[in-house]
Amino acid sequence: MTNEINLKTFKSHLRMAAAALIIAGGLASFAPGAANAASGAADADIIAEAPSGIVAHRTIEIDGVSVFYREAGDAAKPTVLLLHGFPTSSQMFRNLIPVLAEKYHVLAPDYPGYGASDAPARDAFDYTFANYADIVEKFIDKKDVDKFSVYLMDYGAPVGFRLFEKNPGRVSGFIIQNGNAYEEGLKEFWEPIKAYWKTGAKEQRDALRQFLTIEATQWQYTHGQPKPELISPDTWHTDQYLLDRPGNKDIQLDLFYDYRTNVEKYATWQAQFRKYQTPTLIVWGENDFIFPADGAYPYRRDLDNVEFHLLDGGHFALESHGALIADEIVDFLDREVK
């Protein structure tokens, strides 16, 4: 069994390395600026004809906002929607996308205020999880996607579960990586945020600014990782550069406050889990201080068809266990997605 697992991981490493070489080779037609000229049916044709490991970088306008997204794989195949967490963007999936695209159509958008999407002023855009879910729903509608499996990490979990709440039959599978839907998963890290929920006051709001520093962003990537030296500093430096844009930190504080509306929906989502029994893969960094493993176990209480893996990693387990997670996802999708 150990040899089989090692062989699977070795093959996945080879696929990721090959995909990285293809991308590094500089197929300019898929560079961010050049790709934006193609749209609609032309986009689908390009994706269908391109090698599966090639990732296109595009934008699409939704409600007057330019939403950036990554796309790869044959659009005629089942779709996997990748929803990122805080404080990152679709770049967290940069290595996973080419692997999944060998067999599946992959979409990974950036929410407004994150990554390469527009970041409208707070008085011009509703920075709430409800609105993010609406934006993502309109995005997949514009991409002519009917059903999809969805990767849920951190903020991606409430965005994805809100989509599920609206239309459960549209979701063919959950891939949950440190994405919470249970009170048991809101531990010590959340105490100052809960204090802000209670008052909404400036004092409690300002106390959360410590979570938006370069030190805090680096900590999110390295805490709980058995070998933090293997995590590239490009990750937290890229995220911090975007967090430091004028006005962005107040956007993040608005979202910290709005997260309380997700907790209010936990019971509804759990009831839907029990009713619809959507096939689920859980790959969870068990050393995560933000969303500890206490929040992973309750999924097994409500879901019968759940594959459960705790990994020796932290919040961004995909950075430390990318090859293993990729293998588990492909195996899961091959079994469960029709």
Please pick, among 13, 57, 105, 315, the residue that the annotation labels catalytic: 315
DSSP string, 174-198: EEESS---SGGG--GGGHHHHHHHH
* Distance (Å, whole) CA 311 – CA 124: 41
Q: Does the N-terminal peptide bond of residue 120 adopt cis geometry, omega within 30 degrees of 0?
A: no
Kindly state the average pLDDT of the residues 168-179. 98
Return the minimum-mean-pLDDT range out of 8-17, 167-176, 239-248, 309-318. 8-17
Kindly report, residue by residue over 126-160, the tens digit of the pLDDT.
999 999 999 999 999 999 999 999 999 999 999 99
* Distance (Å, whole) CA 173 – CA 324: 19
CATH of the domain at 71: 3.40.50.1820
pTM of the model: 0.87
Domain membership of residue 215 as a residue range: 2-336
Domain count, the chain: 1
**Three-class DSSP category at 7:** helix
> The tokens of 288 are what?
């995560």
DSSP state letter for 178: S
For residue 48, pLDDT over 70 is answered with no
How sure is the predictor about 337, in pLDDT bands with cuts at 50, 70 and 90?
confident
pLDDT given at position 29: 33
> Among 211, 208, 150, 160, which Cα is nearest to 181's?
160
Kindly state the average pLDDT of the residues 243-268. 98
84 is catalytic: no
